[in-house]
Structure 1
Amino acid sequence: MLNYLALVPLFPLIGFLILVASQGNMPRRWVPWIGAGSVGVSALLAALIGIEFLGGSFEPYRQTLWTWMRVADFASGFSLYLDALSLNMMFVVTGVGFLIHVYSIGFMADDAGYARFFAYMNLFVFAMLILVLADNLVLLYLGWEGVGLCSYLLIGFWYDNPENGAAARKAFVMTRVGDTAMAIGLFLLFAQLGTLEIQSLMQRAVAAWPVGSGLAALAALLLLGGAVGKSAQLPLQTWLPDAMAGPTPISALIHAATMVTAGVYLIARTHTLFELAPAVLQLVAVVGAITLLIAGFTALTQRDIKRILAYSTISQIGYMFLALGVAAFSSAIFHLTTHAYFKALLFLAAGAVIHCYHHEHDIFRMGGLRKRLPIAFWSFVIGSAALTALPFTSGYFSKHEILASAYQAENGVWFWAAGTLGALLTGIYSFRLLFIAFFGPENEHASEHLGFAMSIPLILLGALALFGGFVSMPLGSVFPREQPGELGVLAAIVTDAAPFIGVGVAVLLYLTRTYPVEALTASRWGERLHRFWFSGWGFDWLYGKLLVNPFRWLAALNRGDIVDDVYRGVAVASQYAHRAFAATQTGQLRWYVAAFTGGTVLAIALGILS
């Protein structure tokens, strides 16, 4: 089955091409069979390939299809690479991706852009599979840019609304900042090491650069720039909440289960390079710790159901970066996997609520849904429990590994403390959402019908969110030097207690309202702090003042485009010159003789004078 590896990304690509070629004229009932069916075939192939791989010796498998480009000493093949890490990512992309596609059959059933939606989704799955299966960084970068393109298309899917177009542009531009840094990093790596084939590159890096090398640090820092852009980490995190403008299945696929984890995968795949740059690896942990706290506090104040989950995603990716930074690479990938289960579940459950509320997003306009929408309610209960890392859920096992590894790392107490505080905040904002939307006075405006296509993915993802933590990919062959961390007795008690404390606070503030949250925000400082957190700690305001507004001012100043003015000036000068010289062509012989004689005299005079 390993020989069929290339078919895994091929089927979604074929689905995309068929849907695009139909130009929206395909019978509507065929669209989901092609859109969801092609990803389902890929998921089945991935499962069969995984069974053979896991039943063998875990030896990496490489499949070269053709030489993509060859220039002088540079050659890049269209080659795929399968090991435990890429297999894990392939499972996530195809498995969770297929469930989201099935859910979309019901969620997008009445949308005019039904075929276009599935075409974009298929193209995204293809690009993501190329990214995680690429054997070299050039092919990986192709997939990297492909998911960036698809994110623009999908976030702005409902392009009739200008706000959606603005959100799509924001995501595209901000991720391009990171992508530019990453591209420069690839140029540096090839210039210094002579290859971009990942496995050879890591071997040459170890041979050429000692630990702490400046070049290794610079290359790792540039790759980190790409990772923070794609994974929405500080300081390029502000695009992700606005990306919720797209349909909810897009939020589940791109901004919870796959695309935003690409940066985590990149660092894990090139972990050898980062280990040669301990300062950069430490920076990865710092970025993750700060981001998870900033996003956690911000999620506490949001009203939009999808924006709460978006900030939660930023926070959970922060945990993955924290794990990467303390060299707990397996723990980071484990949390990436469990996060895909419970966050896709939460987004799809949120989509069910939005669908039944006729596209209402404000949780304070909801209420009493636990009886009217039982599947969505229990999906939220399970997803929130896993997100909060309550015992025996999938999130408990992966997050506990991260905090244990952080505790054992150098300066790890601070990282552990940040992660533990983040776990407490997660308990508060997760159950705040649950209590406000599903408890309290019943709202009569919600319909109750979800349908088979939307219900089955919620049930299956709920099972994965509960029990997925009991199964993890054996990544020892990819990260052989990693040692599992352990917590001291007191640290273990605090770690396990933090989520429960968070849930307890949410109960007091939002369920029983023993201490109404309005009392906390009534004071001047409480109101200011609430507004500051609600704004995402002012990052959008800061970037607007420093970057966006000056650029708009320059654009307004240069509305006529000074470069075009130069070319227009050249054109006008040419026209005048043409008219001037054309005026000399009178057709009268005496003028031509006079001009000839005058030119001859001038030439002789110049010759005499020189």
Structure 2
Amino acid sequence: MIANIASSLLMLVAPWPLLLVGFLVGIRADHQARRVKTLSNGANWFALLCSISATVMYVTMAQHSQTYLSMHLPWELGSFAIRTLVNPLTLIMFLLVSFMGMIVSRFSATYMVGDAHEGRFHRWLSLTVGAFLVLIVTDNIWGFWISFVAASLFLHQLLIFYRERPLAVMAARKKYLFSRVADVSLFTAFLLIARTTGRAEFSGIAQWMHAWHGSLPASLQIATGLIVLCAILKSGTFPLHGWLIQVMEAPTQVSALLHAGLIYTGAFLLLRVSPMVTHVSWAWTVLIIAGLLSATVSSLMMMTETNIKESLAYSTSAQLGFMLMECGLGLYSIAVLHIVAHSVYKAHAFLSSGSVVDNFRGPMIQKLNIKQTLGRAELAIVISGLVTFGVAMAFGIDLQKQPTLLTIGAIVAIAMGQLLLQALNRSGIGAGTLLSRVALLSIIVCSAYFGLHDLSTDLLGSSIPSDTLQADHIPIWLLALIVVAFLSLLHIQQLLPRLQKSPFWQAVYVNLYNGLYVDLVFSQMAFLHASKIGKTLGTANPQVQFPEE
């Protein structure tokens, strides 16, 4: 019996050393910084070993979810339970976050040496990672909500670690306000779900949804809309992206932890409730449009950014938009794969950001030997498109049954078209060899895309809905809009040197560089919120001073 719940037990105990370090040992953290650092590193290693062991046990023998404590709640809210959800999605995210936590903790062990508040940093880092691990493994919606709020509050302490930096505090305030709206939205959604379905576990909700046929009741449609709102608020997507760009005043490893882990809370929430999202077609459209908007606008802003860390932040905003779009398209297996790949990449990018400057010593836009034309760009896209659809046919992809998968494949083709365009614009000795190598690379990349999709689908199994459930109901015009948007991005990027000579595009460039000024509204809201708090505190304590507007 114990062997069949070994994974569940390991997932249950993994976060607790991290939480204990924060709550007990870390109370006087700065006075015993070395001890807190050692215990925090040890707790992160323990969580990683537990995640590896839980995964091995799941692969080698049948494992079951387990309830360890259950308490009935009033008002038809179901029950609050300490229950772990053992499935491939949980294990993948559990392994990923524990690995990221260990890497960030090890990096911080040397990065924070000598800081006056080194112990306090390790305390909040332990609490943040521990709460996020609880969020990942819990099956109970109320346990999820508590850890959802706790992880956000603990992260807030890391974001304002340098309280003397006004930009860091302002960015953290904006995130704080968005997060509290997300908390209320998610609580209301869970309230409606529990009262309508009588279930308070994600696994039970999924079973209820699988047995349901037709349109969902209005209460569940409202709950789905609130969950979509919550996911958008937590993802730092345009136009709510300002705080994500401005939190760079926090220590570098906080940015790494945020961009490689906690920023995916909204996407993970959508994956958890994906059986319900598949029943609400208008929610897909919202996710697709919101995700596409963020992916395109943030990509354009990234082209104008000169700050390395802020450029990485714009990249995260674009990638999160892309993940929301993938969830809207019903490609949940691709979204999981995207989270894993982007998390590892972005953690490395931030932790090595000091050496990235070497890549920026030359101009961002390389001058080509031959003058670029739209004709060459279109030729490159046609070639990469033919390669993509050829590989898709080799993998047995049906265009009519899986149009959404081919839509993302078309975006992969556009990305490969950019490399082909560079090869087509080369002249002289070796140009033909370069073109053939890039064409071969295109085949390899497209094969990897469809192959990893199949692998991800097989690994995740029934823990997420099938890719085809939403594919048949998404309008063709929406899929075409996605492809056109990314085609436009390619052309803008290639023609940017020419466009910058036009007064109109110079004005566009300046507006993009300043984030289209949409964040000014939220900055003003955060300032007014801070001013109200300041007046209250200033009345109580005259020594507290706040900057004038």
Instruction: Say whether the 8 Å CA contact 1:291–1:314 is kept in structure 2.
Output: yes
Structure 2 letter corresponding to 1:278: S
Give, in angstroms, the shift of residue 527 of structure 1. Answer: 2.3
Matches of 2:530 and 2:341 in 1, distance apart? 45
Structure 2: unaligned runs, 5 residues or longer: 1-5, 363-387, 420-450, 472-478, 541-549
Instruction: Say whether the 8 Å CA contact 2:239–2:519 is kept in structure 1.
Output: no
Q: Name the SS of the counterpart of 1:202 in structure 2.
A: helix
Structure 2 letter corresponding to 1:35: S
Give, in angstroms, the shift of residue 477 of structure 1. Answer: 2.6
Give, in angstroms, the shift of residue 409 of structure 1. Answer: 7.7
Match of 1:529 in 2: 508
User: After superposition, where does 1:113-512 map in structure 2 within 5 Å?
Assistant: 113-207=117-211, 210-211=214-215, 213-254=217-258, 256-350=259-353, 352-353=354-355, 367=361, 412=404, 416=408, 419=411, 423=415, 472=456, 474-479=459-464, 481-482=466-467
Match of 1:45 in 2: 50
Question: Per the alignment, do residues 120 and 408 of structure 1 end up closer, same or farther by CA in structure 2, a change over 3 Å counting?
Answer: farther
* Alignment pair present for 1:54 and 2:59: yes
Match of 2:29 in 1: 23
Q: Name the SS of the counterpart of 1:39 in structure 2.
A: helix
Q: 1:207-258: CA deviations, max 9, x gaps?
A: 466236533321111111111111123443332111222111111112x221
Question: Per the alignment, do residues 425 and 108 of structure 1 end up closer, same or farther by CA in structure 2, a change over 3 Å counting?
Answer: farther
Q: Name the SS of the counterpart of 1:474 in structure 2.
A: helix
Q: 1:502-521: CA deviations, max 9, x gaps?
A: 6x998x99xxxxx9x5x743
Q: Name the SS of the counterpart of 1:77 in structure 2.
A: strand
Match of 2:385 in 1: none
Matches of 2:397 and 2:175 in 1, distance apart? 32
- Kindly tell me the number of residue pairs found equivalent between the two proteins: 456
Matches of 1:414 and 1:528 in 2, distance apart? 36
Structure 1 letter corresponding to 2:342: H
Question: Per the alignment, do residues 241 and 544 of structure 1 end up closer, same or farther by CA in structure 2, a change over 3 Å counting?
Answer: closer
Matches of 2:398 and 2:311 in 1, distance apart? 26
Give, in angstroms, the shift of residue 410 of structure 1. Answer: 8.7
Give, in angstroms, the shift of residue 412 of structure 1. Answer: 4.9
Q: Name the SS of the counterpart of 2:31 in structure 1.
A: coil
Residue 12 of structure 1, aligned match among 9, 18, 23: 18
Give, in angstroms, the shift of residue 405 of structure 1. Answer: 9.4
Matches of 1:182 and 1:135 in 2, distance apart? 15
Q: Name the SS of the counterpart of 1:78 in structure 2.
A: strand
Identify the range of structure 1 (132-141 vs 198-207) with the bigger mean alpha-carbon deviation. Answer: 198-207
Give, in angstroms, the shift of residue 338 of structure 1. Answer: 0.8
Give, in angstroms, the shift of residue 420 of structure 1. Answer: 5.6
Instruction: Give the TM-score of the pair, scaled to structure 1.
Output: 0.66
Match of 1:591 in 2: none
Match of 1:539 in 2: 518
Q: 1:244-273: CA deviations, max 9, x gaps?
A: 22111111112x221111111111111111
Structure 1 letter corresponding to 2:133: L
Identity of aligned residues (%): 21
Instruction: Say whether the 8 Å CA contact 1:296–1:422 is kept in structure 2.
Output: no
Match of 2:383 in 1: none
Structure 1: unaligned runs, 5 residues or longer: 355-362, 369-395, 428-467, 486-490, 510-514, 565-610
Matches of 1:176 and 1:342 in 2, distance apart? 29
Structure 1 letter corresponding to 2:310: R
Give, in angstroms, the shift of residue 33 of structure 1. Answer: 2.2
Q: 1:431-485: CA deviations, max 9, x gaps?
A: xxxxxxxxxxxxxxxxxxxxxxxxxxxxxxxxxxxxx979758001313533599
Matches of 1:329 and 1:116 in 2, distance apart? 38
Matches of 2:311 and 2:399 in 1, distance apart? 28
Match of 2:423 in 1: none
Instruction: Give the TM-score of the pair, scaled to structure 2.
Output: 0.73
| Superposition RMSD in Å | 4.1
